Structure 1
Amino acid sequence: MTQPNDLLPEGLEDRLPQEAARITAAMRACLDVLDAHGYDRVRPPLLEFEASLAGRMAGVAAGPNGGLDSRAMFRFVDPASLRTLALRSDITPQIGRIASTSLRDAARPLRLAYCGDTALIRASQLDPARERLQLGAELIGADSVAAASEAVMLAVEALGAAGLTGISVDFTLPDLVDTLAAEALPLAPDRREAVRRELDTKDAGGLKAAGGAAYLPLLYATGPFAEALPALRAVDAGGALKSRLDALEQIAASIGDSARITLDPTERHGFEYQSWFGFTLYADGLRRAAGRGGTYRIAGSDEPATGFTLYIDRLAEAAPDPEAARLIWLPLGHDRAAAAALRTQGWRTRAQLAEGEHPGALGCTHILEASGPAELEPRP
């Protein structure tokens, strides 16, 4: 019977066996891909000092402390140090801290992988989840086309290994407005945020009113990559974006036909600290993005890095159910050595604890007999 205190807070939910199995299978498949490509896994703590989490990432859309916005994090005072702790909302800053401290003398480029839970104080209407299982990879000490290409290809491969299909990658240029405003399309610093905001909403009228009429062509340089890139090159009459656009073309060529590629050069949502390149991942059957990535610099050390994050719990919406291992019933007094041998062969075992338990009701398809596994008769 449900009690009033059994209700979960808004944005949090239980993952029941079937969904949890899909999440676990997707997580293992993705981590196996990262491991196969030489990414070493690290496990940062769930809690850190707020100042460390909030100040490790720099970017054009960073929070008020120059990094992640700590107002999105659960915060409380540590009784041991009397300093403010925060529950992580993103693991990437923790990887930056590890690279800048414990692994600062490790050879570069440094390849690290991670997987863990994150939490938010509040979520958006489009994505109400306040807890996420975040998995990703970071390539630290490299800011090049080769590094960006590796990150995108690795993310696509990981999604494919998790069983997702119809994968697409949407490229963006997070620092686009600042790059153009410096010279090619001059814009006073106090107008840039308003122009970015109107580009975010794709509002042509608002863009003109904000003094960004020269930026109107950017609204139409979107869509399939092969069509949108020439349109963006046409906007870049002064050549301010040439190196970036050439890089996008090379990254797209490295992906080939393993994913559909689109371009939305003014997209900023989810790119709080990325620099010249960002990408969003989508797949068939998912209501929201499967993940995001791009290039950035680690605040404090100013070291360049490239990486991506996948939201593994979202993948359960489209990931296939893992192949169920055979489940065998172990009756009272069963041969424990025989049961252990079956487990090494891939069987799942479920042991009887008391008289009156029915193996069929508990999901078993076989029973361990003296001669070995025997198929159970279906329940009448």
Structure 2
Amino acid sequence: MTIPAGLLPEGLRDRLPPQAEAASRLMHRTIVAIGRHGYARVSPPLAEFEESLVGRLKAARAQDLLRMVDPVSQRMLALRPDMTAQVGRIAATRMAHSPRPLRLAYGGQVVKLRATQLRPERELAQVGAELIGRDTVAAAIEILNVALDALAAAGVTDATIDLTLPDLVDTLAGGALPLPAGRAEEVRELLDAKDAGGLAAAGADAYLPLLSACGPLDTALARLRACAGLEILDSRLAGIEAIAAAIGHRATLTLDPTERHGFEYQSWIGFSFFGGGLTGEIGRGGSYALMHDDGSEEPAIGFSLYLDPLVDIGLGVEPARRIFLPLGHDPVAAMALRREGWITIAALDETDDPSALGCDHSFEQGAPVAVAVVARG
């Protein structure tokens, strides 16, 4: 069967003007905003050996890898679905002896094996930062401030951060609310699904109060503190309160302590980012353990933002100042126009029309002259 010309695989798409320029502009702006906090950019390859992409982050799984056989090494390669693991590899190998905390930034395309209903694209533009060597409250405050600066640089307003406690069930099951061996995963899934009936049927009634401990941060924290037997969480909740005191004036904070989906490798804290006028999350992050080749673990915390939803609502799109250069124009004057920020469109023959070429000005007698744009059906 012949594939129709121009047909792309499901979940992949072309970016045309002006969205392609907007995507590039947002990538630059967010990377610059992150870099101003001391995060140095690294640029890992699009594909790696499969084991490299799943072996650096504790509990990370290979379910989202688009694989292929490398004809050179005859080993399995995978396209990166996320850049965090690659930054972890760089930190644990080539930069293993760099002073900690190590601050690294990244930006590029990632490819998912499957799309979701909320995000049908499989190729996404991802930008982010990783703080290697720390996962303290102070580190969380820094990384969240960096993320908010990056979102502001991209033009996102009314930011919301939804906090979660990814290892909550493991922490409680090992102490305050013990569970039979092998039942923790089931309880995690039931809490993530907000399945009260399932929890009761599984004999995990003690976990039911956690389902109501979500919503605006102050309300959710009060409900968590009211749950019996959760004194083991006091230091963690105090850490969240410290985070709220440091960044609460910059974003709306909410808490869903049992949210687990998408936070499989995060440890004590996770967070998702949302913005005004945007549907669904536009980024996420949290603390995690970076695995070294000798089996040791290193604490880390970071975030990733996805720029495609921002481009889709028009962020980063700016009106271009396009000026038509007639035949025989002065090239020195044209260079001066470009230095001033003009986009110059040079005539190639007498039939070129400024309006048809999208120009709002023409260079006449040494000066820009407005062009009447003719509406075309």
What is the distance in 2 between the residues matched to 1:248 and 1:278? 11
What is the distance in 1 between the residues matched to 2:230 and 2:259? 22
Q: Which string of whole-angstrom CA distances, capped at 9 and with x for unpartnered residues, describes residues 282-306 of structure 1?
A: 0111111010011011122411111
* Local SS of the residue matching 1:146: helix
For 1:106, give the aligned amino acid: S
Percent identity of the aligned residues?
Answer: 54
Moved more, 119-128 or 140-149: 119-128
For the Cα contact (< 8 Å) 2:324–2:354, is it kept in 1?
yes
Counterpart residue number, 1:137: 129
For 2:188, give the aligned amino acid: R
1:293 aligns with 2:285: yes
Question: Could you state the TM-score of these two structures normalised by the residue count of structure 1?
Answer: 0.93
For 2:167, give the aligned amino acid: D
1:90 aligns with 2:82: yes
Structure 1 position 82, deviation (Å): 1.4
Counterpart residue number, 1:162: 154
1:251 aligns with 2:243: yes
1:347 aligns with 2:348: no
Structure 1 position 215, deviation (Å): 0.2
Counterpart residue number, 2:17: 17
For 1:141, give the aligned amino acid: G
Select 1:379's aligned residue among 349, 374, 377: 374
Counterpart residue number, 1:187: 179
Structure 1 position 377, deviation (Å): 3.6
The structure-2 alpha-carbon separation of the partners of 1:121 and 1:320, relative to structure 1 and needing over 3 Å to count, comes to closer
* Local SS of the residue matching 2:333: helix
For the Cα contact (< 8 Å) 1:330–1:350, is it kept in 2?
yes
Q: Which string of whole-angstrom CA distances, capped at 9 and with x for unpartnered residues, describes residues 245-284 of structure 1?
A: 1111111111021100000001012212111000000011
* Equivalent runs, 1:268-283 vs 2, <5 Å: 268-283=260-275
For 2:6, give the aligned amino acid: D
* Local SS of the residue matching 1:189: coil
Counterpart residue number, 2:72: 80
* Local SS of the residue matching 1:245: helix
For 1:294, give the aligned amino acid: G
* Local SS of the residue matching 2:332: helix
What is the distance in 2 between the residues matched to 1:360 and 1:235? 68
Counterpart residue number, 2:191: 199
Counterpart residue number, 1:328: 323
Question: Could you state the TM-score of these two structures normalised by the residue count of structure 2?
Answer: 0.94
* Local SS of the residue matching 1:240: helix
1:68 aligns with 2:61: yes
For 1:26, give the aligned amino acid: L
For the Cα contact (< 8 Å) 1:162–1:319, is it kept in 2?
no
Counterpart residue number, 1:225: 217
For the Cα contact (< 8 Å) 1:167–1:281, is it kept in 2?
yes
TM superposition outliers: structure 1 runs of 4+ over 4 Å:
none
Select 1:127's aligned residue among 119, 126, 130: 119
Moved more, 119-128 or 161-170: 119-128
For the Cα contact (< 8 Å) 2:155–2:316, is it kept in 1?
no
Structure 1 position 123, deviation (Å): 2.0
1:368 aligns with 2:360: no
For 1:272, give the aligned amino acid: E
Q: Which string of whole-angstrom CA distances, capped at 9 and with x for unpartnered residues, describes residues 327-359 of structure 1?
A: 111122221111111111111111122231111
Structure 1 position 238, deviation (Å): 4.5
What is the distance in 2 between the residues matched to 1:287 and 1:39? 29
The structure-2 alpha-carbon separation of the partners of 1:68 and 1:333, relative to structure 1 and needing over 3 Å to count, comes to farther
Counterpart residue number, 1:37: 37
What is the distance in 1 between the residues matched to 2:341 and 2:202? 63
Gaps of 5+ in 1: none
Structure 1 position 319, deviation (Å): 4.9
* Local SS of the residue matching 1:147: helix
Structure 1 position 21, deviation (Å): 3.2
What is the distance in 1 between the residues matched to 2:131 and 2:188? 28
Select 2:92's aligned residue among 79, 92, 100: 100
What RMSD, in angstroms, separates the aligned Cα atoms of the two structures?
Answer: 1.6
* Local SS of the residue matching 1:143: coil
